[in-house]
Chains A and B, each alone.
Chain A
Amino acid sequence: MKTAIIFLTSLFMVTALNAQPHKKRPLSGRPPDMVYVPAGLYRPFMQQGDKSGRVQLQAFYMDDHAVTNQEFLAFIKANPKWAKSKIPGLLADQNYLEQWSGDYQIGNPAICNSPVTNVCWYAAAAYAKWRGKSLPTLDQWEYALSFPPVGLPKNRSVTRYILDWYSNPTPEHLAAVKTGYQNDLGIYDLVGSIWEWVDDFNSVVESGDSRSQGSLEKSLFCAAGSQSAIDKSDYASFMRFAFRNSLKAKYTVRNLGFRCVKNIN
């Protein structure tokens, strides 16, 4: 209950902050299947930003759904060097697109409209670039999640929703996009179906070297404490950060996909 209160309080704060004057939602120029995310302040799970712990974010557009197998297939057809048999081992591990039957075939109509998973960070970033977009930063992604959910029972916090998601076995086929969790901006499935790549998922991308010894990593392991986390009972956030931290850019995971954002100048 306490968690729920803390969580709702923080939601309220974000909402209140968002209520501050910001650029009105532009009526034109919104790319198809993307949602306008207004500028605002958000409080990251891990301590950073100014003294108040808040980070100012500019407005941006975010895909309203995770990239699907079908959509990713179009990318592969246009950019064959990212096909299963062609991608170098340096860029993707051997489970890359393992759910597909061939280089240019999904082979399973049931998953065409489901999120594409088993994609490495490199391929996800290449897809985003091909679409004239980019991968969301960690802050952008978490900020988008901080908007209130639609249609959750009153006594069910987002944290709660996420914890319940984890305690159900992974389904054989992932559900089609836009059938699950929705927030009040109109963004679907940020949680409840898959994990999603973010641009700066950990520092490994920059260094290309072995695991960093940064404070984030330390805060995620036993005995190192979790002093930098703002809400230590926000287990759902801990899990997302732990998950991201276990990744390397070439990794592919059965329940890890992505969506794109487009920054507004």
Chain B
Amino acid sequence: MKKTVKFAFILLSLIGVYCMFWGCSNNKADKQDQLETLQGAYTARLGVAPLAPPSISQYKTPQKVIVNLLVTEKQMQLANGVQYTFWTFNGTVPGPMIRVHQGDEVEVHLSNSPNSTMPHNIDFHAATGPGGGAEASATAPGHTSVFGFRALKPGLFIYHCAMAPVGMHIANGMYGLILVEPKEGLPKVDKEFYMVQGEVYTDGKFGDTGLQHFNLQKALDEKPDYVVFNGSVGALMGDNAFHAKVGETVRIFFGNAGPSLTSSFHVIGEIFDRVYLEGGQMINRDVQTTLVPVGGAVITEFTCKVPGYYSIVDHSIFRAFNKGAIGQLEITGAENKDIYSGKIKDEPYIETQSK
């Protein structure tokens, strides 16, 4: 008994010493946060959903990356025959995907169209500073604000408008993703896609045609009639589906703008090889469904093995089939019956007698 106590004591002290060292090395890491000097500047190539922007291949040192965003308020299709006045970054929902590297300085030029009714701003979850830039970027119609932030941490981050009333600006379409790649970059894959989930609160029910207005009460109740990927019902269906070939690796940059509902992100018929949990540095493997909080994102990767149509859904399944949170991936190529046989037989079922 005494021996056990002694052993436990030694073990505990060892853990203590280890923790001290770990703490030390962690402090060192923090000190290494000292910013590297920027070498050069370039204007970011932005990705228009569902395409992610390419990574810059010759990345060596942190640079200044200029990001130009123009806010416009415009009517767009929410579903077949349904119009809605979206508030947008660069005229699309979601806004463009931005791709920088850890250590880069992001210089944002946020313009608000003279035709806008509202002031707008932008809050980058990738930024460290008050409001993620919201205060610095508040912009009246017909003006441009410039502010900058250092991309200190790698990961996939949401950005969104944070002008009061925030929920309305988000529900109206003002959001997108910024990827801060680690210095060494993300591993190469064959295909990269960009999608963001968002809710739209309309006066009419799902499918009621015509111009729909924002419904404040449904928003306060957190009961949207539309939960959509990339701004409209069907934005990733049919002709707009993602495409990949058997044997290719696919990476999906997925964000959840909300403003209210947590997403259970799932690709029906696939298992994610890797999931960068919450868009951060922890990788989980062999995942069926990953939870994406509002104002959060995730990177998922998988390998295409069997051809066919795969549905991409929020597995809160009524949202997928009744509110629009569904997209498609079409995989083409040779069948692989060893992995998936397809239907082999269909025959009458005969009840065995149990009398």
Say yes or no: A95 contacts B168, CB within 8 Å: no
Chain B residues whose CB sits within 8 angstroms of the CB of A2 once the complex forms: 217, 220
Chain A residues whose CB sits within 8 angstroms of the CB of B121 once the complex forms: 221
Interchain CB contact (< 8 A) of B220 among A3, A93, A223: A3
B74 within 8 A of A: yes
Within 8 A of A (CB), among B108-146: 114-119, 121, 123, 131-132, 134-135, 138-143
Within 8 A of B (CB), among A241-265: 241-243, 245-247, 251-256
With contacts A2-B217, A170-B115, A222-B123 taken as known, whether A246 is within 8 angstroms of B139 at the C-beta atoms is yes
Say yes or no: A255 contacts B217, CB within 8 Å: no
Q: In angstroms, how far is the closest chain A Cβ from the Cβ of B116?
A: 8
Sample of 16 A–B contacts (CB below 8 Å): A95-B114, A167-B214, A168-B85, A168-B211, A169-B85, A219-B164, A221-B138, A221-B164, A221-B166, A233-B216, A239-B164, A239-B165, A242-B118, A245-B119, A246-B119, A255-B141
Question: How many B residues touch A, CB cutoff 8 Å?
Answer: 35
B52 within 8 A of A: no
Chain B residues whose CB sits within 8 angstroms of the CB of A139 once the complex forms: none
Interface residues on A, range: 35 or more
Q: In angstroms, how far is the closest chain A Cβ from the Cβ of B171?
A: 11
Residue from B73, B116, B131, B165 having most chain A Cβ neighbours under 10 A: B165
Say yes or no: B85 contacts A239, CB within 8 Å: no
CA distance A3 to B168 in the complex (A): 15
Residue from B75, B163, B164, B211 having most chain A Cβ neighbours under 10 A: B164
Chain A residues whose CB sits within 8 angstroms of the CB of B118 once the complex forms: 166, 239, 242-243
Chain A residues whose CB sits within 8 angstroms of the CB of B168 once the complex forms: 235
- Nearest A residue to B112 by beta-carbon distance? A246
- Nearest B residue to A159 by beta-carbon distance? B216
- Nearest B residue to A233 by beta-carbon distance? B220
B213 within 8 A of A: yes
Q: In angstroms, how far is the closest chain B Cβ from the Cβ of A69?
A: 17
Chain B residues whose CB sits within 8 angstroms of the CB of A219 once the complex forms: 164
Residue from B116, B131, B162, B216 having most chain A Cβ neighbours under 10 A: B216
Say yes or no: A169 contacts B123, CB within 8 Å: no
The 8 A-B pairs at the shortest CB distance, nearest first, are namely A246-B119, A222-B162, A246-B140, A167-B85, A238-B165, A220-B164, A242-B164, A238-B164
Residue from A1, A164, A241, A243 having most chain B Cβ neighbours under 10 A: A243
A163 within 8 A of B: yes
Chain B residues whose CB sits within 8 angstroms of the CB of A166 once the complex forms: 85, 117-118, 214
Binary contact readout B155-197 vs A (1 if CB under 8 angstroms, 0 otherwise): 0000000111110100000000000000000000000000000
Interchain CB contact (< 8 A) of A253 among B123, B141, B165, B213: B141
- Knowing that A170-B73, A223-B131, A242-B165 are A-B contacts, what are 12 other residue pairs whose CB atoms are under 8 Å apart, sorted by A's residue number? A2-B217, A2-B220, A93-B142, A168-B85, A169-B85, A239-B118, A245-B138, A246-B119, A246-B163, A247-B140, A253-B141, A254-B141
* Chain A residues within 8 Å of B, Cβ to Cβ: 1-3, 93, 95, 159-160, 163-164, 166-170, 211, 217, 219-224, 226, 233, 235, 238-239, 241-243, 245-247, 251-256
Residue from A242, A251, A256 having most chain B Cβ neighbours under 10 A: A242
With contacts A167-B214, A222-B123, A242-B119 taken as known, whether A253 is within 8 angstroms of B162 at the C-beta atoms is no
Say yes or no: A217 contacts B135, CB within 8 Å: yes
CA distance A255 to B115 in the complex (A): 8
CA distance A93 to B114 in the complex (A): 13
With contacts A3-B217, A163-B213, A169-B85 taken as known, whether A251 is within 8 angstroms of B131 at the C-beta atoms is no
Interchain CB contact (< 8 A) of A211 among B74, B85, B135: B135
Q: In angstroms, how far is the closest chain B Cβ from the Cβ of A180?
A: 15
Chain B residues whose CB sits within 8 angstroms of the CB of A167 once the complex forms: 84-85, 211, 213-214
Q: In angstroms, how far is the closest chain A Cβ from the Cβ of B124?
A: 11
Binary contact readout B188-227 vs A (1 if CB under 8 angstroms, 0 otherwise): 0000000000000000000000010110110010000000
- Nearest A residue to B136 by beta-carbon distance? A211
Residue from B114, B117, B134, B138 having most chain A Cβ neighbours under 10 A: B117
With contacts A238-B165, A242-B163, A246-B139 taken as known, whether A170 is within 8 angstroms of B220 at the C-beta atoms is no
Chain A residues whose CB sits within 8 angstroms of the CB of B141 once the complex forms: 253-256
CA distance A242 to B166 in the complex (A): 10
Say yes or no: B117 contacts A170, CB within 8 Å: yes
Say yes or no: A221 contacts B117, CB within 8 Å: no
Say yes or no: A1 contacts B217, CB within 8 Å: yes
Q: In angstroms, how far is the closest chain A Cβ from the Cβ of B69?
A: 16
- Nearest A residue to B160 by beta-carbon distance? A222
Chain A residues whose CB sits within 8 angstroms of the CB of B220 once the complex forms: 2-3, 233
CA distance A252 to B143 in the complex (A): 9
CA distance A53 to B134 in the complex (A): 29
CA distance A245 to B120 in the complex (A): 11
Residue from A1, A167, A220, A242 having most chain B Cβ neighbours under 10 A: A167
